[in-house]
Amino acid sequence: MSFIAAFVWSYFLWLVLTAGSKGMLWSPQELIAGLLFSAIVGYATRNIIGEKASRFLNPVKWVLFIAYAPVLFWGMTRANLDVAYRVITGKIRPGIVRVPVNLDNDAQYTILGNSITLTPGTLTIEACPEEKALYVHWINIPEGLEWPESSEPVSGPFEKWARRLGE
Amino acid sequence: MIEYVIMIFLAISVTFNMLGSIALHRFPDVYTRLHGATKCTTFGTIFATFAVILHAIVRLKETGNPKYLQMALHSAVALLALLLTNPVGAHAIAKASHMSGYLPKRAVVDAYLEKRREKRNE
């Protein structure tokens, strides 16, 4: 199963990278070479990707990822206006806070950690799945939020999204 | 008309990349500098890529030359790779500097330091 997932995704990437080799489509040489190289990549990485590889082929997940893109982009826009304001005025109140989160597997921690890094004023320093917490550097901690009780003030809607995407 | 949209995208891109560089000078320590270096440059580069993709689509419609299709697709792939690797790199730098004893300056709270102290005392 992990071979098939890796194969499909490498072939997809190959098709994207070689589009336009014959008119707007693909020349047969490119298609055959792509099959060969995707098979090599799939075989070489079959033990690395692991058993849950089938979730990469789930169309519901793709739709969710596409729906997630505008949410992330809006978060990034706010983050950048916020950082721009702090760069110009120099008003910061930095610190590292412990954020308790309620997630189950590594994929969810990866998605949430990366989303937090890309969004307002926060930078993930460490993820601790064993104590269900993220350590986040926050550039402007509001008064009274030095020890947040939930991830809501730090990550907004992203914990919900991460749980849905990484199942 | 579409040229002005491309120009606006490029202007946004340059502005945010410049702010990211200024952040490197203004902020006091490595963590706050990483905020500027990751967020502003990612956002700026996204808009630069949008400008490239838009330009490629316009040229593709005008000329029908498949090399513009390749240009748009390759830029999109580069954008995805950037979005995946930039936060991971920032996380690695931040964690490594905390591990090697470079603590955040002017910090009001440092939960990670307390956690590491507890771990050492156990």
For chain A (167 residues), the mean pLDDT of every run of 10, in chain order, is 80 83 76 86 79 71 82 81 79 78 76 77 77 78 69 70 73
Inter-chain residue contact B111 with A147, CB threshold 8 Å: yes
Instruction: Write out chain B residues lying below 8 Å of A97, CB-based.
Output: 109, 111
- The whole-number pLDDT of residue A146 equals 65
Interface size between A and B, measured as CB pairs under 8 A: 136
Instruction: Please give the radius of gyration of chain B, using alpha carbons only, rounded to the nearest integer.
Output: 20
Output the six-digit token pair for A116.
Answer: 């937090």
Inter-chain residue contact B106 with A147, CB threshold 8 Å: no
Whether complex ipTM tops 0.90: no
Q: Which of B34, B42, B107 sits opposite A96 (nearest CB)?
A: B107
Among A52, A17, A57, smallest CA distance to A33 is for A17
Distance CA A8, CA B53 (A): 25
- The whole-number pLDDT of residue A144 equals 67
Chain B nearest CA to A132, separation (Å): 13
Q: pLDDT at residue B122 above 80?
A: no
Q: pLDDT at residue B13 above 70?
A: yes
Q: pLDDT at residue B60 above 80?
A: yes
- The whole-number pLDDT of residue A151 equals 65
The letter for the amino acid at A124 is: T
Under the banding of pLDDT at 50, 70 and 90, the label for residue B34 is: confident
Element (H, E) at A128: strand A122-128
- The whole-number pLDDT of residue B26 equals 81
Instruction: Write out chain A residues lying below 8 Å of B94, CB-based.
Output: 123-125, 137
Between the two ends of chain A, the Cα-to-Cα distance in Å is 17
Inter-chain residue contact B34 with A94, CB threshold 8 Å: no
Give pLDDT tens digits for B81-107: 888 888 888 888 888 888 887 777 776
Mean pLDDT of chain B: 83
Instruction: Write out chain B residues lying below 8 Å of A95, CB-based.
Output: 104, 107-110
Distance CA A161, CA A159 (A): 5
Distance CA A154, CA A80 (A): 15
- Chain B interface, best mutation among A125, A147, A154, by max B CB count within 10 A: A125
Which residue shows structure tokens 């930039």?
B86
Instruction: Write out chain B residues lying below 8 Å of A113, CB-based.
Output: 87, 91
For residues A136 and A125, the answer to whether their CB atoms sit within 8 Å is yes
Inter-chain residue contact A77 with B43, CB threshold 8 Å: yes
Under the banding of pLDDT at 50, 70 and 90, the label for residue B25 is: confident
Chain A contacts to B (CB-CB under 8 A):
13, 16-17, 19-21, 23-24, 76-77, 79-80, 83-84, 86-88, 90, 92-98, 113-114, 117-118, 121, 123-126, 128, 135, 137, 139, 141, 146-147
Instruction: Write out chain A residues lying below 8 Å of B79, CB-based.
Output: none
